[in-house]
Amino acid sequence: MIGAAELRALLPLMLVALTAIGTLLLAGFRRDARLAALGYQGGLLLTLLTLPWALPEQPLEVTPLLRIDGFFGYFAALFVLVAMAVGLMMQRQVRSKTSGERVEESYVLLAICLLGALVLAGAQHFAALFVGLELISVASFALVAYPCGGRPSTDIRQRNSLEAGLKYLVLSSVASGFLLFGIGCLYLDSGSLAFAPLPPSTSLALPGLALLLVGVAFKLALVPFHFWSPDIYQGAPTPVAALVATLSKGALFAVMLRYLWFGALQELETLVPAVALLASLSMLGGNLLALRQRDIKRLLAYSSIAHLGYLLLVLLAIGHAGVAIEAGAFYVLAYSLTTLGAFALIGCVCEAGDEPDYRLEAFAGLIWRAPLLGASLMLILLSLAGIPLTVGFIGKFYIVAAGVDAGLWWLLAVLVAGSAIGLYYYLRIILIMLAPQSEPSGIGGGRWLVYGLTLLLVLLGVYPLPVLQWLPVL
């Protein structure tokens, strides 16, 4: 039975659900993008403020599906903040368009994505995992294809968004099929959908876990299941690309951390080489493919593949390294913060004119025409590369510490090689930014979001202690 304690623990999820419903009702009664944005941001702010009060002192199981604890609280706060930042990016994009598109429902879809992420953060059961994942996926299909301004019949950006949404729908459905097949095999073998160690000498455990791994690799866009990712990043509106890169991938990684800890996957040594192979291919493949990109959104897509490869080291270190969970949690924060800053800056620089220009040359001379934005871009790129005094360095340091504790030496060598390749193309963008500009171009709105995210990634790189003390331990 669900009592007062359980209802209190579920308050963050209920507030996000009410935010989605309330924003939809506001849109039904009055078509006003600003009002919808205020309702969305107000609901998420209330969720964030009540989160400390809602968390129980001891881990609490709310039905067999959800576990509300410090792990949930950490990722819930992170995901709410990410969703608020994406909402601010959406507001900037809406203000820059004059085509009269109906955009109020986009905030409803954003709230549904956040609700799915919160379910994943607390999931301790495969049913909750699948429900949360599909909440994110179904809402993301519509957001990727959502009108981004202009008339749909003539605007090439809208056609690209529709194409990206269709690709995302098809390939994500394939990934969900693999997940369901794998979950079905595990259920047939163990008789339970709860996250728990599998019984020894089971006949369907290995194929079930292999299918589950393929589904997760599709969703996280790991090599060689990555082909959809650059097209989605390029075709989707910039705020939605930021959402796919941060919220959806971060939520799936969070639930995999909990599953591996409770399900003791590290005991199945036969799958460790497969996960290690995915990690090494993603770290090297993502960075090597990014070298040839001249489109900033496609470059970030391949960079994201490499960063998810780094995170796989945490999954391999669970059970062998005491800091593995903390390393994964902090790296998700560092990656999300830096990636949000990158996409917010893309919105300012590349979408300032009538037609967006996502070529790397769009950043030429940025340091001279907008010094603060240029400095912000430099810090964001250095954080992605893992250079000291940025949050990216602290996150990568934690990953390396977990790998050393677990003895993953050859994977750490691959990580160092991949990071060196990544540093090359990040520095290439900085050199383009420092070059003299041939033609003057404007800067769009949304600068304060870029400045705020950049300041935060520097502060956490210099003084990460407040977050380190809050890192969850399962």
The pLDDT assigned to 438 comes to 57
The string of pLDDT tens digits covering residues 372-416 is 999 999 999 999 999 999 999 999 999 999 999 988 999 999 999
- Kindly give, in sequence order, each residue whose CB lies less than 8 Å from that of residue 99, ignoring residues fewer than 6 positions away: 147, 149, 150, 151
The pLDDT assigned to 149 comes to 43
The residues of the chain scoring below 70 in pLDDT are 1, 94-101, 147-158, 199-202, 263-268, 321-322, 353-354, 437-442, 473-474
Q: What is the 3-state secondary structure (H, E, C) of 349-394?
A: HHCCCCCCCCEHHHHCCHHHHCHHHHHHHHHHHHHHHCCCCCHHHH
Could you state, in order of their start, the residue ranges of all structural domains in the chain? 1-173+228-264, 268-474
Token digits for 436? 């003299």
Task: Say what angle helices 70-95 and 104-122 make with each other, to 10 degrees.
Answer: 170
What gap in Å lies between CA 103 and CA 36, rounded to an integer? 9
What gap in Å lies between CA 420 and CA 426, rounded to an integer? 10
The pLDDT assigned to 167 comes to 87
- Kindly give, in sequence order, each residue whose CB lies less than 8 Å from that of residue 231, ignoring residues fewer than 6 positions away: 163, 164, 167
